[in-house]
Each structure stands twice: as structure tokens, then as C-alpha cells.
Amino acid sequence: MRDPELAMALFPAALKYHRQQVARLRRNRSLVFTLWLAASLAGTILAFTRTANSDAAKLAFDQAKVSPIMIHSLGEPIRRCPFAFGDLETRGSGGQASVSFSVFGPFGRGTLRADAVRFHQSWQLISLDLERPGHPGGLNLMPIQSTIPR
């Protein structure tokens, strides 16, 4: 058998082997992409739930849901989205947080935004605002502090 004849005889087997390798590579690529996507999604959800379950976010929601302005705007009961966006940073017994999450009530929905600082492992709110769609500006939910010295 001459070389061209041998090549022509082996070509269908080589082509079949090549196609199998390409199919295997595509399956592996799809698997790697799927695993990467799942890991990214899990990390994102973990980050959002970590922020939402932080003491700063809990303090903000607990104070907001008893605010007369919030109750008047959204009604009762007030619920919150399980995810929050923002930054949370702690250093030893101090730290700072800036969080926002959706809140819902019988009269509508809004976005609660809060800034807090942590001193000696205790969170204190600096600002607490409710933003509602279709309403310009936010509503300040911070209780009025007395400026009269005691």
C-alpha cells in the first residue's frame, strides 16, 4: 500500500477520533463554566446575605419599622427583602456600615438606606432614610434627638 492510499484508509478513523476529542473538550468546557457560574452565584448570595444579616442592618430595620413615618408610608406589617447591598467593615471593636435593602408594606414598597458606625462592639445609626418610587427625595427616619443638655 502506498502512503496516500494508507492515509485515505485511515482518514475516517482519524476524523472520528478528532470529532470525539472536540466533543469531549466542549463538554469539559461547559462543565467548567457551569461550576464557575455556580461558585460565583453562591459567593454573591453569601455576600448579600452576610450584609443583610449584619447587626447594622438588623438595627436599621428594627428602628425603621417602629418609625411613625415608615408606618404611615408603608403600613403595617413591614417586611424586608432577605438581601442587602452595601459595605460592611469591622476592625476589632469598631467599624462602619452602609447598607440598603428593599422594604414592603400594605401601602407600597421602598428602599431603606442606613449608615452606621460601631464603637466598642455596639452599632449606632448615623443616618436612616426611606426612599419611595415616585416620591422625590428620601424620608429621614432618624428620631429627633434632644439638644437640650440635661
Q: Would you say residue 150 lies in a domain?
A: no
Q: Would you say residue 95 lies in a domain?
A: yes
Query: Quick one: cell of 150?
Result: 440635661
Tell me: do 8 and 24 sit in the same domain.
Answer: yes
- Per-residue pLDDT band at 147 (split at 50, 70, 90): very low
Q: What is the pLDDT of residue 2?
A: 58
pLDDT at 150 over 70: no
Tell me: do 60 and 33 sit in the same domain.
Answer: no
Query: Which candidate, 115, 140, 116, 145, places its Cα nearest to that of 129?
Result: 140
- Per-residue pLDDT band at 117 (split at 50, 70, 90): very high
pLDDT tens digits for range 39-64: 888 777 666 666 667 888 889 999 99
Neighbours of 41 (CB within 10 A): 10
Q: Would you say residue 146 lies in a domain?
A: no
Averaged pLDDT for residues 91-95: 84
* Residue-level length of the chain: 150
Query: Which candidate, 76, 82, 50, 48, places its Cα nearest to that of 64?
Result: 76
Domain that holds residue 1: 1-52
